[in-house]
Structure 1
Amino acid sequence: MKNISEITINEQWCKSCEICVNFCPKKVYEMGRFYPIAARPEDCIACKLCEKLCPDFAIIVTAPEKPDSSKK
């Protein structure tokens, strides 16, 4: 099973500037009717570029937890 990043977009803070859509290196986002949507979250590499560039702090990317290699 592939681990997928959790992407949260706060629609109340988002002003639909499309920075996340334009700068995502994996093209995870598409513009919805009013706000961006994470159309391909399975492609997210959790670089958090969208989170860093968002002028409204409307995006939070939570990387998937790495498996604990100490457990056997």
Structure 2
Amino acid sequence: MLSKIKSEVICIIDGKEYQYKDGVIAYQQIKSKYSISSVYARNNSIVLELTIKQNSSNWEKEYKEQFGEELSYF
């Protein structure tokens, strides 16, 4: 879904901001490394607050059991 954003994207990771021209470029930089903890608009940009993905299969299993669907980070 992130790759469909045509406007500027700002990613916040550990309090640092990284600015990207659009969602395609942002997605290429963050895919499979981070999960989105928050999304909001600021001025003319989409802002994503990101956290490092947990590599725990137990966490993924618990999510699937709780919500009845596979994980989707975007």
TM-score interval w.r.t. the shorter chain? 0.3 to 0.5
What TM-score do you get using the length of structure 2 for normalisation?
0.35
* Higher helix proportion (structure 1 or 2): 2
What TM-score do you get using the length of structure 1 for normalisation?
0.35
